[in-house]
Amino acid sequence: MYRPHKMQPAKRTGPPRKPAGVKSDRHFVTALARGLEVLACFRQGDRMLGNQELSKRCGLAKSTVSRLTHTLTQLGYLIYVEDSAKYSLGTATLSLASVMLSRLDIRKLAHLPMQELADFAQCMVSLGSRDRLSMIYIDAVRSPAAVTLSLDSGARIHIATSAMGRAYLTAIPERERNDIMEGVRALVDVNRWPDTQRGVAKALRDIRELGVCCSFGEWQRDVNAIAVPVRPGGGLPPMAINCGAPAYMVSKEFLLEKVRPRLIALVNQLEISLGTDG
């Protein structure tokens, strides 16, 4: 049975880095950034994390993490579980997520067309947005044939090797894309960096020539996928819709010849409905 590997949080070697462009920003509050970084350490499937695990994921001293988790607990963003001496996400975090999701009209509009495409292609179809150097699934649907795929809403995939991530990268300004790729370069194995660069460069050509971005065995060796960027409007950043499945279920030829025009049409109709086409 096919079970894709969960994307592991990137290992850090120091405190959370400031986003590109804010290294000399006197308005940047490092303490706040560190608190948010602690919350961001929780990944899909993480029910509870202790200070030691959070310290490893954040690259911060355990004493610093202890103060941050105490503060976040007092504010309701974390819940301390005494039996295990660990923390789980609190209701305040859920409240923020619920408010954000309620703003996403695109999620409601896209769900049924995505399901129809998934049923046609016998694939998994997902809507995602960027979070740091990952793409995070906002919604995910699958055909009955693709039930072995274990990625759901909240799952994260690599921004530079996945079709969804590449689609996002083609929809943003060059300067922003270069900043993101510098972050990717710091985390990617030096021997894999040239292939990663070539993959993103090819995505820029593919979106012009094919109307989609591709990842055939590059995110995971046995997964084929294509994706298209979508502009949701309402002050929200670009997103992307991805259609993919294990390579033994769908060939790249099938995705490009049969699925590609339907995926492009889905995104075009979605942007018309949202009033962001053109």
Beta-carbon neighbour count of residue 42 at 10 Å? 20
- Portion of the chain with pLDDT greater than 70, in percent: 87
CATH code of residue 156: 3.30.450.40
pLDDT of 134-171, one tens digit each?
999 999 999 887 655 667 777 889 999 999 999 999 99
C-alpha distances in Å from residue 6, one per residue of 149, 156, 237, 256, 278: 11, 8, 25, 26, 37
Task: Give me the number of domains the chain comprises.
Answer: 2
Same domain as 91, residue 118: no
Same domain as 109, residue 66: no
Rg (CA), the chain: 19
pLDDT band at residue 102 using 50, 70 and 90 as cut-offs:
low
Q: What is the arithmetic mean of pLDDT over 85-111?
A: 79
Same domain as 257, residue 219: yes
Instruction: Return the minimum-mean-pLDDT range out of 43-57, 105-119, 187-201, 218-232.
Output: 43-57
Give residue 18's pLDDT. 52
Please list, in sequence order, all residues whose beta carbon lies within 8 angstroms of the beta carbon of residue 44, skipping any fewer than 6 positions away.
Answer: 6, 152, 154, 155, 156
Same domain as 215, residue 130: yes
Answer whether residue 170 is part of any domain: yes
Answer whether residue 3 is part of any domain: no
Q: Is the pLDDT confidence value at 10 over 70?
A: no
Same domain as 186, residue 62: no
Same domain as 226, residue 191: yes
Last residue of a domain, one of 96, 129, 147: 96
Last residue of a domain, one of 77, 96, 115: 96
Give residue 45's pLDDT. 73
Last residue of a domain, one of 47, 69, 96: 96
Q: What is the arithmetic mean of pLDDT over 178-195?
A: 94
